């Protein structure tokens, strides 16, 4: 009897110890959802390294309210169907904070689920306006919108390039078509002649009939809304088929892989990208931390992902809670100093201010900012990478 | 002068892509002709062959070899060997054990194999696009009025290699002993077996030949586009399958005709309507054929054997 007693007491003690250590280590899980595999996985990597770095630095500084953050990675392959499955899994896993998703077409359906389940989501990469237009109060983004990016590109085209006959191509996906439409509206308002506006199928490899058509129409400028694998092939085949036109694309094409695919044909491509946060002197320590881990802080979504984690942590700290609604309310009401500058969310969850800059891409995978100051047309600053 | 030249350019574009559809379609049609199943893993064999060709070209280039002909021949030989080995293994592992059972089981086995092969390459090579430089740049330009027709060297190579492969295949089927056995098997496998033909060997060889032609297509398209990823097999396989059905599944000339037709139809749609309607037209064509001539353009109507 005594033996049994002692045994059960011991068991009780063990389980109590277990309980204590559990509550001390009860991490706050944060889901990082985006493409880990698939054709645009490198953008997912940018998001992951940014978010992971923020989590690591916050934990090193003592965590949030004494608890540690824990990043949990989910793979949506940039497919809407997969994104819904991932969102449901995040719900089932009881995670209340999400960094992601990356592709707008994935973020959109996933955000419906997060809103219904009371989960706070911040996308560091999805630029399609519709995502925050739904008016969900727990959905945010730390990047600009296509209807901000499109006009930047459109205005640049109308004022600096002034093409005679322009073509706009997109990949029929939410992101690509969204930004392409925004560009179309801006340039047409400025009186630019858009002679071809057409969609392609993402994953398609043969663009010869499209390029021949652009040649027939004597197109001198092509704007492409979409991601780099398709534009890379279009550039390569355009060079082969003798289409002599200037190309431009959104940040979805601004990736060194485009130079691997298109080679010399990627030289001179124009790209709108978020401002190069890694060149901001205020971020020098952070950049050094990335470089110490042999990671590249210059990807367009790295700093926005870092920022997303940081504002969530600050929200939790200030409200002393991990309730998504309380944190969301705090995010709406306050401003934050972050690596992407001063962050101030409007009532939709969009940033009040976010700057896109036009870059010229080079065949070696680097980029230089194009000086958009009208007084100095044509002059370009030197390499920043 | 512009309009006919533009039409010519689009036909050239269409024939280029169409001839590679035809090369892949033959693999579908031959297997169907002999064992009556659709080998859905065939598109993945094409994808694997493209990877192999890339690895060989990249490897030899790194060793300082820059003779285009040598690179192509070396890549072709290695790609054919590796692709054939894969197809042979797939048939042994996934199809032969279920050959006697219902058609649906073989079909599911094929889809499973397709998913397996895609993920196997995904793990081995990663999901990102792999690219090689253009090893055969340039072409002929014919100018007339405002429009210049471009016939790139690579397009000519694609036509020429496809034509040679087709002639070799035709000679093999009609002249060689194994080709005769193939034809016998496609007419009546049971009877061929009774007459002493090793049908297992014939079926294996069918898979190997189909894979070899897919490897030729893999090398050609790989060089033409310069890019490969583990997902290219799906779309290419689907298009080639459409081409095979269009021409009449089971018929080799049908597969060739179907491939060329599909390629030209796509190019003209892209050229005169919109690229957005490419798939609408190709699959619309398929539906029309299935409605009015289910056995395809050159196929034979199937007589139900009672």
DSSP string spanning B134-156? -SS--EEEEEETTEEEEEEHHHH
Does one domain contain both A232 and A337? no
Of B221, B271, B278, the CB nearest to A212: B271
C-alpha–C-alpha distance, residues A56 and A229, integer Å: 32
Q: Mark the ranges of chain B whose per-residue pLDDT is less than 50.
A: none
Does one domain contain both A182 and A263? yes
C-alpha–C-alpha distance, residues A53 and A74, integer Å: 17
Chain A residues contacting B, CB < 8 Å?
37-39, 41-42, 172, 198-201, 203-210, 212-213, 215-216, 218, 229, 232-233, 236-237, 240-242, 257, 260-261, 263
Does one domain contain both A163 and A235? yes
Enter the ipTM.
0.88
Does one domain contain both A172 and A120? no
pLDDT digits (tens, 9 = 90+) for B164-190: 999 999 999 999 999 999 999 988 888
A292 belongs to a structural domain: no
Structural domains of chain B in order of their starting residue, each with its CATH number:
2-292 (1.10.3470)
Does one domain contain both A314 and A182? no
Confidence of residue A15 (pLDDT cuts 50, 70, 90): very low
A20 belongs to a structural domain: no
Average pLDDT over residues A299-314: 94
Does one domain contain both A332 and A212? no
Parent domain of A122 = 28-143+301-354
Exposure of A385 by Cβ count < 10 A (0-12 exposed, 13-18 middle, 19+ buried)?
middle
Does one domain contain both A152 and A40? no
Residues of A in contact with B270 (CB under 8 A): 209-210, 213
Q: Which residue from A minimizes the CA distance to B222?
A: A205
A195 belongs to a structural domain: yes
- Strand partners for A221: A166, A246
Residues of A in contact with B268 (CB under 8 A): 209
Contacts of A178 (CB under 8 A, 6+ apart): A104, A127, A128, A129, A130, A146, A150, A225
A183 belongs to a structural domain: yes
- Strand partners for A247: A222
Q: What is the pLDDT of residue A193?
A: 93
Does one domain contain both A368 and A239? yes
A1 belongs to a structural domain: no
Does one domain contain both A224 and A368? yes
Interface test with A, best of B18, B131, B148 (most A CBs within 10 A): B131
Q: Which residue from A minimizes the CA distance to B266?
A: A209
Does one domain contain both A84 and A224? no
A283 belongs to a structural domain: no
Q: How many domains does chain A have?
A: 2
Confidence of residue A375 (pLDDT cuts 50, 70, 90): very low
Q: What is the pLDDT of residue A57?
A: 94
A251 belongs to a structural domain: yes
Going by C-alpha positions, the residue among A216, A212, A208 that lies closest to residue B18 is A208
CATH of the domain at A362: 3.40.50.2300
C-alpha–C-alpha distance, residues A320 and A93, integer Å: 23
Q: What is the pLDDT of residue B46?
A: 97
Does one domain contain both A217 and A320? no
**CB atoms < 10 A from the CB of B124, how many?**
10
Does one domain contain both A214 and A361? yes
A18 belongs to a structural domain: no
pLDDT digits (tens, 9 = 90+) for A262-298: 989 999 999 998 888 888 889 999 999 999 999 999 8
pLDDT digits (tens, 9 = 90+) for A31-54: 999 999 888 888 999 999 999 999
């Amino acid at each position: 009897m005594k033996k049994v007693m002692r045994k059960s007491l011991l068991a009780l003690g063990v389980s109590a110890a277990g309980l204590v250590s559990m509550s001390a280590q009860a991490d706050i899980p944060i889901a990082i959802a985006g493409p880990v595999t698939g054709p645009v996985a490198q953008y997912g990597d940018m998001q992951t390294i940014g978010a992971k770095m923020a989590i690591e630095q916050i934990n090193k500084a003592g965590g949030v309210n004494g608890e540690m953050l824990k990043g949990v990675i989910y793979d949506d392959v940039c497919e809407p169907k997969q994104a819904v499955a991932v969102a449901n899994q995040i719900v089932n896993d009881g995670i209340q904070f999400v960094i992601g998703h990356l592709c707008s077409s994935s973020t959109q359906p996933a955000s419906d689920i997060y809103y219904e389940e009371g989960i706070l989501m911040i996308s560091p990469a999805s630029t399609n306006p519709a995502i925050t237009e739904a008016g969900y109060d727990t959905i945010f983004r730390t990047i600009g919108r296509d209807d901000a990016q499109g006009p930047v590109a459109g205005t640049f085209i109308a004022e600096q390039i002034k093409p005679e006959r322009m073509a706009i191509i997109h990949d029929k996906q939410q992101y690509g078509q969204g930004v392409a439409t925004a560009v179309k509206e801006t340039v047409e308002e400025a009186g630019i002649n858009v002679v071809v506006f057409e969609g392609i199928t993402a994953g398609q490899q043969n663009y010869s009939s499209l390029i021949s058509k652009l040649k027939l129409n004597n197109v001198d400028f092509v704007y492409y809304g979409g991601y780099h694998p398709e534009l890379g092939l279009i550039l390569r085949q355009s060079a082969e088929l003798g289409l002599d036109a200037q190309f431009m694309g959104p940040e979805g094409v601004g990736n060194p892989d485009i130079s691997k695919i298109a080679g010399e044909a990627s030289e001179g491509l124009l790209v709108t990208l978020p401002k190069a946060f890694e060149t901001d002197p205020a971020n020098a320590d952070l950049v050094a931390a990335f470089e110490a881990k042999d990671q590249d802080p210059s990807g367009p979504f790295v700093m926005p992902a870092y920022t997303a984690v940081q504002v969530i942590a600050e929200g939790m700290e200030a409200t002393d809670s991990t309730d998504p609604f309380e944190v969301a309310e705090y995010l709406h009401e306050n401003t934050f100093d972050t690596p992407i500058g001063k962050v101030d969310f409007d009532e939709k969850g969009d940033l009040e201010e976010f700057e896109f800059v036009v870059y010229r891409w080079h065949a070696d995978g680097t980029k230089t900012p194009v000086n958009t100051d009208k007084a100095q047309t044509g002059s370009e600053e030197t390499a920043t990478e | 002068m512009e309009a006919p030249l533009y039409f010519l350019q689009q036909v050239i574009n269409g024939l280029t892509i169409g001839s590679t559809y035809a090369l892949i379609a033959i693999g579908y049609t031959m297997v169907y002709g002999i064992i009556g199943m659709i080998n859905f893993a065939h598109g993945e064999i094409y994808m694997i062959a493209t990877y192999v060709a890339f690895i060989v070209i990249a490897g030899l280039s790194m060793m300082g070899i820059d003779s285009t002909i040598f690179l192509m021949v070396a890549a072709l030989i290695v790609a054919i060997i590796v692709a054939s080995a894969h197809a042979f293994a797939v048939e042994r592992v996934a199809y032969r054990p279920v050959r006697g059972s219902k058609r649906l089981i073989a079909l599911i086995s094929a889809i499973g194999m397709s998913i397996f092969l895609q993920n196997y390459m995904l793990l081995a090579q990663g999901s990102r696009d792999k690219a090689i430089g253009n090893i055969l740049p340039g072409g002929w330009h014919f100018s007339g009025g405002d429009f210049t027709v471009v016939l790139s060297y690579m397009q000519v190579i694609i036509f020429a290699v496809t034509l040679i492969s087709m002639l070799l295949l035709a000679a093999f089927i009609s002249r060689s002993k194994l080709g005769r056995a193939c034809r016998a098997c496609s007419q009546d496998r049971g009877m061929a077996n009774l007459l002493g033909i090793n049908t297992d060997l014939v079926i294996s060889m069918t898979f190997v030949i189909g894979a070899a032609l897919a490897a030729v297509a893999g090398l050609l398209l790989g060089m033409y586009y310069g890019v490969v990823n583990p997902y290219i097999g799906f779309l290419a396989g689907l298009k080639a399958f459409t081409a095979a059905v269009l021409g009449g599944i089971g018929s080799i000339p049908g597969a060739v005709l179907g491939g060329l037709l599909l390629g030209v139809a796509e190019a003209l749609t892209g050229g005169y309507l919109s690229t957005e309607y490419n798939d609408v037209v190709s699959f619309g064509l398929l539906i029309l054929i299935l409605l009015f001539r289910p056995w395809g353009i050159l196929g034979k109507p199937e007589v139900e054997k009672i």
